[in-house]
Structure 1
Amino acid sequence: MTEIIQGRVRANGIDFVHLEAGDGPLALCLHGFPDTAWGWEPLLADLAAAGFRAVAPFMRGYAPSSVAADGRYQTGVLALDAIALHEALGGDDTAVLIGHDWGALATYGATVHEPGRWRRAVAASVPPASVMGPALLDYDNLKHRFWYQFFFCNPLSDVAVAMNDLAFIERLWADWSPGLDAGPHLPRVKDALREPANLTAALSYYRQTLGGIGQDPAIADVQAATFQTPSIPVLYLHGTDDGCMPCPEVSTLAAALPGEGSRVELVQGAGHFLQYEAPQRVNRAIVEFLTA
């Protein structure tokens, strides 16, 4: 059985706590909201067995990683985190990057801004901007799916999300991944966000990226990169029953990815947290793509 160890590394002004398994080329796994590095635990083991050094950090602001002293949480900073972690962990041009949800946006940004660091990339549940943009502006999606993003831009959300032991997060998981038994996973997610500073940090991802609040003009180029298409091969994964981000057509997704070497795979019957719902199918697709 593959041993998952816990480590700590300083990168881009953050003390990142991370889970790690294996030895070999770096495979950096970035989680989204509301989630933690533990969501990648089965994948870390499979990547280690495939010959990678698989590392999953708790993203900035998510305990036990530190909150940002400078208060920066926009997607451009998340991309710079991935690049800094690549450096701090001794990655080279054989490294690969995997991202889910906010981690997917960080993956796009890091691979566009510094493509020479990464051989291949995997993104899940949040498509590139050319696909996500029209979905984000659709009336029905705004009404039924994306309301929470704009609610999070209001400071009142700090109070609402924290109420009743973060029951708001339980409801999101139930809506986004219908049928998933989230009980075994939610305690870890709540632990990462229970302290007010951590919850405010996680909500600030939305405030700074969607609301434009506190964006750093010095990294405008990196911020723009998070909404561009990588030039390296990308595997894109999406659950067909995703209650958060509507599942696009395969042809639409394929047209948004680099032509040579990229792939799209829809995970039938899975929702937004597809790595929890269908770990065998998801992990197999990722390992096969990254070892090709």
Structure 2
Amino acid sequence: MSAKEIKHQLVPLGQVAYYEKGSGKPFLFLHGFPDTPLSFTAQVEYFSSRGYRCIVPYMPGYGETSVPAKGSTSQLAIAKMMSQFLEQIAPDEAVTIYGHDWGSIVAQLVVALAHTGETRVKVDKLILGAVPSIRSFLRNMNFAQVIRSRYMYYFQLPGVVNYIKSQHLAYIRTLWMRWSPSISLLHPQIDETVNTLKAGDGLKQGISYYRNLLNPVRALYD
């Protein structure tokens, strides 16, 4: 990300690191796991040249974005933090939101909070990638999907963070190649993701999204 200027915005729940490009209608991109804002490079180039102000934050716990106050990486806490971020950098503007993977779940909650009047965020469009609406996901859950989601259960094992670190995050590269088999193992996006997760508690926080999803009490103390 060295070619992009990383900015920082303080919000009540912490600090959000992000970059932006273009001017015009705000367009928020929320990444998933294992991923970083670099994933959206092509999309940002496209939309920033077509009248959009593209805003791409590191999700809480990644890079220099802090975990929400009290250390929670629950979906709701993350959505509230991203909502506060939008309220400050795009006040009174209708925002297009694209969420990919975990970002999709958070994006849906950002919209729900706005719809119920709990935040001042205004939403123009919601776009979901890789993960459908939560209701649709649960309705279509089957054995094949459980098998595809087995990594989520792997992340519940005690000591999994330290083990993945001891293997120099080889498992993260394995996930990339499993989900994007046409991509080169030497692709800079993979290196960016691995380096981001290596820094500080990046890997722990990224995995805590899943631990919090299935076992929120344990995630607070792990």
What is the TM-score of this pair, normalised by structure 2? 0.87
The Cα offsets for residues 104-140 of structure 1, whole Å up to 9 and x where unpaired, read as: 001111112203610111110001122211454x233
**Amino acid across the alignment from 2:80:** L
Provide the residue aligned with 2:151 in structure 1: 148
What stretches of structure 2 of length at least 5 have no aligned partner? 116-120
In structure 2, the residue matched to 1:269 is: none
> Which AA in structure 2 matches 1:118?
V
**Any residues of structure 2 matched to 1:27-42 within 5 Å, and which?**
27-42=27-42
Structure 2 match to 1:276: none
- Counterpart pick for 1:203 among 197, 203, 207: 207
Residue in 1 that maps onto 2:24 = 24
Equivalence for 1:60: 60
- Equivalent position of 1:256 in the other structure: none
User: What is the CA distance between 1:13 and its match in structure 2?
Assistant: 2.1
Quick one: which of 122, 133, 138 aligns to 2:138? 133
Residue matched to 2:178: 175
Residue aligning to 1:98 = 98
Separation of aligned partners in 1, 2:4 and 2:153 = 37
Gap change, CA 1:74 and 1:185, over 3 Å in 2: same
Other structure's SS at 2:216 match: coil
Residue 203 of structure 1 and its aligned partner are, at CA, apart by: 0.8
Which residue type is aligned with residue 53 of structure 2?
R
Q: 1:149 to 1:214 in 2, by over 3 A?
A: same
Deviation of the 1:50 alpha carbon: 1.4
Q: Deviations over 1:32-85 (max 9, x none)?
A: 000001111221222211111111001110113234452110111121122111
Q: Which moved more, 1:176-185 or 1:165-174?
A: 176-185
Local SS of the residue matching 1:60: coil
The Cα shift of 1:215 comes to 8.5
Task: Please list every run of at least 4 consecutive aligned residues from structure 1 whose deviation after the TM superposition is greater than 6 angstroms.
Answer: none
- d(CA) in 1 for partners of 2:149 and 2:30? 22
Q: Is the 8 A contact 2:23 2:48 kept in 1?
A: yes
* Residue type at the aligned position of 2:127: V
Q: 1:12 to 1:153 in 2, by over 3 A?
A: farther
Once the two structures are superposed, what CA deviation does each residue of 1:229-281 show, in whole Å capped at 9, x if it has no partner?
xxxxxxxxxxxxxxxxxxxxxxxxxxxxxxxxxxxxxxxxxxxxxxxxxxxxx
Aligned position for 1:162: 165
* C-alpha distance in 1 between matches for 2:214 and 2:149: 11
Partners of 1:214 and 1:25 in 2: how far apart? Answer: 41
- Identical amino acids, percent of aligned pairs: 24
2:195 to 181, 191, 194: 191
May I ask how many residue pairs the two structures share in their alignment? 212
Quick one: distance in 2 between partners of 1:69 and 1:182?
36
Give the 3-state SS of the residue equivalent to 1:108 in structure 2: helix
Aligned to 2:118: none
Across the aligned residues of Structure 1 and Structure 2, the Cα RMSD in angstroms comes to: 2.1
Q: 1:151 to 1:122 in 2, by over 3 A?
A: same
Structure 2 residue aligned with 1:71: 71
What secondary structure does 1:15 align onto? Answer: strand
The aligned residue for residue 87 of structure 1 is 87
- Distance, in Å, in 1 between the alignment partners of 2:12 and 2:153 is 28
Letter in 1 for 2:77: V
2:135 is paired with a residue whose SS is helix
